[in-house]
Structure 1
Amino acid sequence: MRRPDLSDEPSPADLDPADDAFHPFERIDGDAAAGLLLICDHASNALPARYGTLGLPPAELERHIGYDIGAAGVTRALASALGCPAVLSHFSRLLIDPNRGEDDPTLVMRLSDGAIIPGNRHVDEAETTYRLDRFHRPYHRAVAAEIARMTATGLAPAIFSVHSFTPVWRGSPRPWHIALLWDLDPRFARPLIEGLEAEGDLIVGDNEPYDGALKNDCLYRHGTATGLAHVLIEIRQDLIADLDGQIAWADRLAKLLPGILASAELHERRLFGSRTGPVTPLDIAELTAA
């Protein structure tokens, strides 16, 4: 696979001369009829100028607590390989987590993997609402708008969410190379798990080390509640810490995804429900205005 052109990639310096100029998401244009939308909830560790470093030493923002290491590079390379659209967040998960529902107690973290977040210590309802309005909700509207644009072609997209996980957690090595998280809709996850396992050189996690059923998270909102096929992948961070690794994994996925996406059922809207409890169906048009 050719290396993607990263010359137009936004940087915190480009987007952060002041809070008003800070753009909360990055959109990669692609074929609206591609049938696949890539999203990356934890793509960046950028923070608007008004927040500084949230009181943390800058090195802390380079850790996994600030963003999903390598996930943005995989997303961009995969979008380039498949010619499909992508939406990536452009703010640190420590500011507000776009992969959490608005009522989730971990929406704004005060403590993350042993690090106290001084800038979040006294966040009140007004500040949480500001961060929702300024960062969290625009990101989700961008995802919903892309889904609406793609659905208008007559081919509903499957949603593919790219994350990464630490190779060691609390002293215990994690054996998985890649993990797939899903709830009750098996259409995307099952064939992708089978395809990855068939390669013979991977340990594939099936809803481990994390569970894919999380009420009101990003894929619950845009997939479970709308009936669109979806899956979340987690790649171990030591495997995608540099551009070579990111391209290698994008290449691996790009070879598997077209065959899976050829199945018509991945482009139907079907409600499967959730292991978290009853699901209130959402219309895509509702989400673009939310």
Structure 2
Amino acid sequence: MPFSLSTETEAFAPAHLIAGSPAQRLILLCDHASNALPSGYGDLGLSRAHLERHIAYDIGAAQVTRRLSALLDAGAALAGFSRLLIDPNRGEDDPTLVMRVSDGAIIPGNAKVGPVEIASRVERFWRPYRRACVGLVEAALASDRVPVLLGIHSFTPTFKGRARPWSCGVLWDRDPRLAGPLIEGLRAEGVTVGDNEPYDGALKNDSMYELSSARGIPGALIEIRQDELGAPEQSEAWAQRLARILPSILARPETERIEVFGSRADLNPG
């Protein structure tokens, strides 16, 4: 995805919404869809090369989200700004909400950011995106449908010089209703799946905590390795794969009810 800057004449949207079919319970969330920066923030002092790295957005995640939405007629929310501006997948009080250093790269535009500027970014970007996500969930609930939430992210093939062996990871907290059968379905297709790898799915006040765990709504997050999303046909293959697996999960009766399992993040909030 080429890096983009919003201009004064260009409308900037903190969230991009896809309505989906009223009959489709699946809602897709893509927190790190974009590396765009709104007018007034320039390039945060970074080179184009840095802004096209994974530190700025989740490479390939938006393409999979949009294509999967089209295949299943699912609603979706995609953040319209770079995670370097403010991270929409972090809680409002998370110390990593605005990163000053990311994977070895100093972010000059964030170096001296203080509470007033962070509060401004929360109000202008972070909160509108979260509200858009909440709106999709509450619209489903208002029509007597329990939604099923799938967050779509991507991760780097290596970390600290070590190769990551998983083609994807499914991250979840205590609610197994989506995560369990999704892991099974992916493994049945020959995919090497990390179960809460390469990250843990219990993160206090992240998107899935707020929208899924705290509300008792079935949900999970999939992380896809970025070298499997480098070309359009690879993103298409991943979208097609998920479109094959998800309908049978959505048909399970246990996904059609509100059931609060709690969160491991509440037991270890630090």
Q: Distance in 2 between matches of 1:269 and 1:175?
A: 35
Matched with 1:286 is none
- Note if 1:97 corresponds to 2:125: no
- How far did residue 16 of structure 1 move? 2.0
Q: Could you list the runs of 4 or more consecutive aligned residues of structure 1 that deviate by over 3 angstroms after TM superposition?
A: 11-15
- 2:250 maps to 1:261: yes
The residue number in structure 2 matching 1:66 is: 56
For the 8 Å contact 1:19–1:48, the answer to whether it is kept is: no
Partner in structure 2 of residue 4 of structure 1: none
Q: Deviations over 1:227-255 (max 9, x none)?
A: 10000000000101221111100000000
Residue of 153, 165, 173 corresponding to 1:163: 153
Q: Give the distance between the partners of 1:111 and 1:74, measured in 2 at CA.
A: 28
What secondary structure does 2:221 align onto? strand
The residue matched to 1:175 in structure 2 has which SS?
coil
Secondary structure at the aligned position of 2:177 is classed as: coil
SS at match of 1:122: coil
| Contact 1:15/1:23, CA 8 A, preserved across alignment | no
Let me know the Cα RMSD of the aligned residues.
Answer: 1.8
Q: What is the CA–CA distance in structure 2 between the aligned matches of 1:157 and 1:274, rounded to whole Å? A: 19
Contiguous gaps of at least 5 residues in structure 2: none
Give the whole-Å Cα distance in 1 for the aligned partners of 2:197 and 2:4: 37
Deviations 1:28-67, CA, capped at 9 Å, x for gaps = 1211220110010000000012111100011101000000
In the TM superposition, 1:1-290 aligns within 5 A as 16-18=6-8, 21-199=11-189, 201-277=190-266
Deviation at 1:278, TM superposition (A): 5.8
* Matches of 1:28 and 1:247, distance apart in 2: 18
Deviation at residue 15 of structure 1 after TM alignment: 8.2
TM-score where L is the length of structure 1: 0.89
Q: Distance in 2 between matches of 1:188 and 1:14?
A: 34
Q: Give the SS at the match of 1:78.
A: helix
SS of corresponding position for 2:212: helix
Are the aligned partners of 1:19 and 1:50 in contact in 2 as well (CA < 8 Å)?
Answer: no
Q: Hey, what's the Cα distance between the residues in 1 that align with 2:188 and 2:130?
A: 34
- Structure 1 position 12, deviation (Å): 9.2
SS state at 2:124 partner: helix
Distance 1:12 1:25 in 2: 18
Per-residue deviation, 1:20: 8.6
Q: Distance in 2 between matches of 1:14 and 1:116?
A: 20
* One-letter amino acid matched to 1:228: I
- Preserved CA contact (<8 Å) 2:171 2:201: yes
Letter in 1 for 2:202: A
Hey, what's the Cα distance between the residues in 1 that align with 2:208 and 2:242? 19
CA–CA distance in structure 2, aligned partners of residues 249 and 127 of structure 1 = 38
Q: How many residues align?
A: 268
Distance in 2, Cα, partners of 1:89 & 1:12:
16
Say which SS state the counterpart of residue 51 (structure 1) adopts: coil
CA distance in 1 between counterparts of 2:92 and 2:124 reads 13
Tell me the distance in 1 between the aligned counterparts of 2:54 and 2:2.
18
| % identical equivalent positions | 55
> Are the structure 2 counterparts of residues 54 and 31 from structure 1 closer, same or farther at C-alpha, using a change threshold of 3 Å?
same
Q: Which amino acid aligns with 2:241?
A: R
